[in-house]
Amino acid sequence: MLAMKLYSLASKSLFKHILKRRFYGALIKQLRKIERRNNMKIILDAGHGYNTPGKRTPDNIREWTLNNKVANYIEEYLRGYNVEIIRTDDKSGNIDVSLAERRNKTNSIFPNLFISIHHNALTGNWGNHSGIEVYSHTLGTLEDVKFANLVSKKMSEKIGLPNRGSKKAQYYVLGCKPGITAILCEGGFMDSTIDYKIITTEDGQRKYAQAVAYGVIEYLGLIKNENSQPQANEQKELYKVKITTPVLRIRKDPNINSNITGKVFKNQVYTIVAEENGWGKLKSGAGWIYLSYTTRNINSSINPIKNNKFNVKVKKKRAMVRCQPNSKANLAGSRELHFGDVFIATDIVKGENVNGNNLWYKSAKGNYVWSGGLNRI
């Protein structure tokens, strides 16, 4: 009898003990979940380093340079949102941080998202292959696939390149701890004559960045801090246009079915602050106009700056200096510039179209250098 009573008491307290542990275990788990949602972190990883062998366009623009620009713009677009951004690459480009180091850092920080930014290559020789891809790990979770699908769709729509799909591969950096949603983006081919024209321009890089940033905002349900400053670059002036048709309608959104919000007239000049599917956003905020009925105001500066002087750095082997913005014009001044050279420019003007790019820098000395493979710094 006593034995039974003792047994019953013991089992009761054991039962209570188990219940207690279960309860607190679940509570702690829940609290951890809440903490993770309240302190959201993402890791951005610009693939490679500046000096990584291979990994460049056929005309020698480094993949890291492109990856880094996109990663910087993503940071800019996520500024003011309730998320902390950490980079795993070396932002100076000097060190190609090893894949193991990148993965270890990711695992120790345990972010909500890991996003590796890359640009693709097929043969290393120019071709007309084209498109974007987003990878998740072959052994990844459904969440990885869900996020990869979301970002690949946004990238293709924003950048305007074919969606080659959300794919799976056993990429080392994607093999981080379960619970970290991880993707690797390939934003167009460096050796594609089609994609090159987009991925080497600020406009194309910003579109890539916006697609990823908007994917992050949607996936994590991020909220913008109301006290945050508006992004200075949201209204960055791209260029000026002159209207070439008698009357051109302004639409609320960049499509023909959108509401008309006003009109502009022939020979008027407007500043464009964003571009989408052939439409330009007016700086005034009145809406969008269809750019086919405009010309870029020749000699108007892109991103005009006060004293109209800026530095341009040569990022390819050799750049020719000419008397006119034309590749057949006579050589002038220093005749040619080399990788790493910096010159002072006063303007960007329209000139001969080379590989789909007709923009030329006008140097302070009054000469011209084609803008391909040059960077404004």
Q: Which residues bind Zn ion (CB under 5 A)?
A: 47, 118
Tell me the closest approach of the beta carbon of residue 149 to Zn ion, in angstroms.
Answer: 21
Strands of the 357-363 sheet, one edge to the other: 331-338, 318-322, 368-370, 357-363, 342-354, 310-314, 374-376
DSSP H/E element including 146: helix 142-155
CB nearer Zn ion, residue 46 or residue 349: 46
Tell me the closest approach of the beta carbon of residue 366 to Zn ion, in angstroms.
Answer: 40
Tell me the closest approach of the beta carbon of residue 116 to Zn ion, in angstroms.
Answer: 8
Tell me the closest approach of the beta carbon of residue 234 to Zn ion, in angstroms.
Answer: 29
Among 202, 193, 217, residue whose Cα is nearest residue 115 = 217
CB nearer Zn ion, residue 99 or residue 329: 99
CB nearer Zn ion, residue 47 or residue 188: 47
End-to-end CA distance of the chain: 90
Residue nearest Zn ion, Cβ-based: 118
CB nearer Zn ion, residue 47 or residue 351: 47
Tell me the closest approach of the beta carbon of residue 151 to Zn ion, in angstroms.
Answer: 16
Among 296, 306, 298, 275, residue whose Cα is nearest residue 201 = 275
Q: Are 95 and 87 in contact (CB under 8 A)?
A: no
CB nearer Zn ion, residue 47 or residue 204: 47
Cα dihedral across residues 343, 349, 353, 355: positive or negative: positive
Residue 11 backbone class (left: φ over 0; alpha: ψ -120 to 50; beta: rest): alpha
CB burial of residue 148 (10 Å; 0-12, 13-18, 19+): buried
CB nearer Zn ion, residue 47 or residue 140: 47
CB nearer Zn ion, residue 188 or residue 373: 188
Among 341, 375, 372, residue whose Cα is nearest residue 57 = 372
Tell me the closest approach of the beta carbon of residue 144 to Zn ion, in angstroms.
Answer: 19
